[in-house]
Amino acid sequence: MKLSAELADSELHARAARFGARLLEARLKLATAESCTGGWVAKVATEVPGSSGWFDCAFVAYSYDAKEAMLGVPRQTLEQHGAVSRETVIEMGRGALSRSRADLAVAITGIAGPTGGTRDKPVGTVWIAWGFGHHRPIAEAFHFAGDRDAIRRATVAEAFAGLERLLAAH
Protein backbone atom coordinates (compact mmCIF):
# COMPACT_ATOMS: atom_id res chain seq x y z
CA MET A 1 0.00 0.00 0.00
CA LYS A 2 1.45 3.36 -1.03
CA LEU A 3 1.38 6.13 1.59
CA SER A 4 -0.21 9.39 0.56
CA ALA A 5 2.02 12.45 0.29
CA GLU A 6 0.15 14.02 3.21
CA LEU A 7 0.78 11.03 5.45
CA ALA A 8 4.41 10.86 4.40
CA ASP A 9 4.78 14.60 5.08
CA SER A 10 3.26 14.16 8.52
CA GLU A 11 5.81 11.44 9.30
CA LEU A 12 8.67 13.69 8.14
CA HIS A 13 7.36 16.50 10.34
CA ALA A 14 7.02 14.13 13.31
CA ARG A 15 10.64 13.00 12.88
CA ALA A 16 11.82 16.61 12.70
CA ALA A 17 9.83 17.54 15.80
CA ARG A 18 11.22 14.60 17.80
CA PHE A 19 14.76 15.34 16.68
CA GLY A 20 14.38 19.06 17.34
CA ALA A 21 13.13 18.43 20.86
CA ARG A 22 16.22 16.32 21.54
CA LEU A 23 18.50 19.01 20.12
CA LEU A 24 16.78 21.70 22.16
CA GLU A 25 17.17 19.63 25.33
CA ALA A 26 20.87 19.11 24.56
CA ARG A 27 21.30 22.80 23.60
CA LEU A 28 22.65 21.89 20.18
CA LYS A 29 22.05 23.43 16.77
CA LEU A 30 21.71 21.93 13.28
CA ALA A 31 22.88 23.12 9.87
CA THR A 32 22.07 21.54 6.51
CA ALA A 33 23.99 21.44 3.23
CA GLU A 34 21.67 20.24 0.50
CA SER A 35 21.91 19.69 -3.22
CA CYS A 36 19.37 17.30 -4.74
CA THR A 37 16.84 17.91 -1.96
CA GLY A 38 16.87 21.64 -2.66
CA GLY A 39 16.45 22.62 0.99
CA TRP A 40 13.73 20.11 1.83
CA VAL A 41 15.42 19.03 5.09
CA ALA A 42 15.63 22.67 6.15
CA LYS A 43 12.00 23.23 5.13
CA VAL A 44 10.78 20.31 7.24
CA ALA A 45 12.95 21.39 10.18
CA THR A 46 11.78 24.99 10.11
CA GLU A 47 8.12 24.00 9.90
CA VAL A 48 8.45 22.79 13.49
CA PRO A 49 7.27 25.51 15.88
CA GLY A 50 10.21 26.69 17.98
CA SER A 51 12.81 25.40 15.52
CA SER A 52 14.72 28.68 15.89
CA GLY A 53 15.93 27.22 19.19
CA TRP A 54 17.73 24.35 17.45
CA PHE A 55 18.08 25.14 13.73
CA ASP A 56 20.97 27.40 12.74
CA CYS A 57 21.09 27.61 8.94
CA ALA A 58 20.84 25.90 5.56
CA PHE A 59 23.05 25.91 2.51
CA VAL A 60 21.44 24.93 -0.78
CA ALA A 61 24.39 24.40 -3.09
CA TYR A 62 23.39 22.85 -6.38
CA SER A 63 26.23 23.72 -8.76
CA TYR A 64 29.95 23.04 -8.49
CA ASP A 65 30.53 26.79 -8.09
CA ALA A 66 28.01 27.01 -5.23
CA LYS A 67 29.49 23.98 -3.45
CA GLU A 68 32.92 25.56 -3.73
CA ALA A 69 31.91 29.13 -2.77
CA MET A 70 29.34 28.42 -0.05
CA LEU A 71 30.74 25.27 1.54
CA GLY A 72 34.44 25.31 0.64
CA VAL A 73 34.35 22.07 -1.33
CA PRO A 74 37.70 21.99 -3.17
CA ARG A 75 37.34 22.24 -6.96
CA GLN A 76 39.77 19.32 -7.22
CA THR A 77 37.40 17.11 -5.19
CA LEU A 78 34.50 17.99 -7.47
CA GLU A 79 36.51 17.41 -10.65
CA GLN A 80 38.08 14.14 -9.46
CA HIS A 81 35.06 12.54 -7.81
CA GLY A 82 32.03 14.45 -9.08
CA ALA A 83 29.28 16.15 -7.12
CA VAL A 84 27.64 12.83 -6.22
CA SER A 85 30.38 11.15 -4.22
CA ARG A 86 31.52 10.29 -0.71
CA GLU A 87 34.36 12.80 -0.95
CA THR A 88 32.10 15.69 -1.97
CA VAL A 89 29.38 15.03 0.59
CA ILE A 90 31.97 14.82 3.39
CA GLU A 91 33.39 18.18 2.31
CA MET A 92 29.86 19.60 2.20
CA GLY A 93 29.30 18.43 5.78
CA ARG A 94 32.61 19.92 6.91
CA GLY A 95 31.74 23.19 5.24
CA ALA A 96 28.30 23.36 6.85
CA LEU A 97 29.87 22.90 10.29
CA SER A 98 32.76 25.31 9.77
CA ARG A 99 30.62 28.04 8.17
CA SER A 100 27.84 28.00 10.75
CA ARG A 101 27.33 28.02 14.48
CA ALA A 102 25.85 24.53 14.36
CA ASP A 103 26.99 21.55 16.37
CA LEU A 104 25.56 18.96 13.93
CA ALA A 105 25.20 18.99 10.18
CA VAL A 106 23.66 16.86 7.50
CA ALA A 107 24.87 17.09 3.91
CA ILE A 108 23.12 15.62 0.87
CA THR A 109 24.04 15.19 -2.77
CA GLY A 110 22.51 12.87 -5.32
CA ILE A 111 20.63 12.25 -8.53
CA ALA A 112 16.89 12.60 -8.05
CA GLY A 113 16.06 12.28 -11.73
CA PRO A 114 14.32 11.77 -13.94
CA THR A 115 17.52 12.44 -15.92
CA GLY A 116 21.18 12.77 -14.99
CA GLY A 117 21.89 9.18 -14.06
CA THR A 118 24.76 7.11 -15.46
CA ARG A 119 25.69 3.44 -15.31
CA ASP A 120 27.94 4.10 -12.29
CA LYS A 121 25.55 6.59 -10.65
CA PRO A 122 21.97 5.79 -11.67
CA VAL A 123 18.97 7.93 -10.81
CA GLY A 124 18.24 7.40 -7.13
CA THR A 125 21.90 7.42 -6.06
CA VAL A 126 22.23 9.66 -3.01
CA TRP A 127 25.10 10.33 -0.63
CA ILE A 128 24.32 11.62 2.86
CA ALA A 129 26.92 12.74 5.41
CA TRP A 130 26.32 13.48 9.07
CA GLY A 131 28.77 15.49 11.14
CA PHE A 132 29.08 16.36 14.81
CA GLY A 133 31.47 19.01 16.10
CA HIS A 134 35.03 18.67 14.88
CA HIS A 135 34.75 14.98 14.01
CA ARG A 136 35.04 13.96 10.36
CA PRO A 137 31.52 13.52 8.94
CA ILE A 138 30.44 9.97 8.22
CA ALA A 139 28.92 9.27 4.83
CA GLU A 140 26.68 6.60 3.41
CA ALA A 141 25.40 5.88 -0.09
CA PHE A 142 21.76 5.07 -0.78
CA HIS A 143 19.89 3.89 -3.85
CA PHE A 144 16.29 5.05 -3.64
CA ALA A 145 13.56 4.00 -6.08
CA GLY A 146 10.70 5.97 -7.50
CA ASP A 147 10.15 9.29 -9.17
CA ARG A 148 11.92 12.55 -8.29
CA ASP A 149 9.55 13.32 -5.42
CA ALA A 150 9.82 9.83 -3.93
CA ILE A 151 13.62 9.87 -4.08
CA ARG A 152 13.80 13.28 -2.42
CA ARG A 153 11.21 12.34 0.23
CA ALA A 154 13.12 9.12 1.07
CA THR A 155 16.34 11.13 1.29
CA VAL A 156 14.83 13.58 3.78
CA ALA A 157 13.54 10.70 5.92
CA GLU A 158 16.96 9.03 5.90
CA ALA A 159 18.68 12.35 6.71
CA PHE A 160 16.62 12.68 9.90
CA ALA A 161 17.08 8.99 10.79
CA GLY A 162 20.85 9.42 10.51
CA LEU A 163 20.77 12.59 12.59
CA GLU A 164 18.90 10.71 15.31
CA ARG A 165 21.52 7.93 15.25
CA LEU A 166 24.34 10.48 15.38
CA LEU A 167 22.84 12.30 18.34
CA ALA A 168 22.23 9.03 20.20
CA ALA A 169 25.90 8.07 19.72
CA HIS A 170 27.18 11.30 21.30
Share of the chain above pLDDT 90, in %: 92
By three-state DSSP, how is residue 69 classified? Answer: helix
Quick one: pLDDT at residue 4? 55
pTM given for the model: 0.95
Share of the chain above pLDDT 70, in %: 96
CA-CA-CA-CA dihedral for 25, 31, 36, 42, to nearest 10: 60
Average predicted confidence (pLDDT) for the chain: 95
Following DSSP, what letter does each residue of 76-122 receive, concatenated? HHHHHH-SSSHHHHHHHHHHHHHTSS-SEEEEEEE--SSS---SSS-
Chain segment 45-55, per-residue pLDDT in tens = 999 999 999 99
Q: Is the peptide bond between 114 and the residue preceding it cis, with omega within 30 degrees of 0?
A: yes
What CA–CA distance (Å, rounded) separates 55 from 77?
A: 28
What CA–CA distance (Å, rounded) separates 133 from 98?
A: 9
What CA–CA distance (Å, rounded) separates 77 from 98?
A: 18
pLDDT at residue 7 tops 80: no
Quick one: pLDDT at residue 170? 83
Average pLDDT over residues 21-43: 97
Average pLDDT over residues 60-89: 98
Average pLDDT over residues 17-38: 97
pLDDT at residue 115 tops 90: yes
What CA–CA distance (Å, rounded) separates 46 from 32?
A: 11
Packed helices 64-71 and 86-98: angle between N→C axes, nearest 10 degrees: 40
Please state which of the ranges 6-15, 98-107, 109-118, 146-155 shows the lowest mean pLDDT. 6-15
Nearest of 125, 149, 129 to residue 137 by alpha carbon: 129
What CA–CA distance (Å, rounded) separates 76 from 55?
A: 31
Average pLDDT over residues 17-22: 97
Quick one: pLDDT at residue 8? 81
Nearest of 50, 41, 52, 143 to residue 92 by alpha carbon: 41
Distance, first Cα to last Cα, the chain: 36
pLDDT at residue 2 tops 60: no
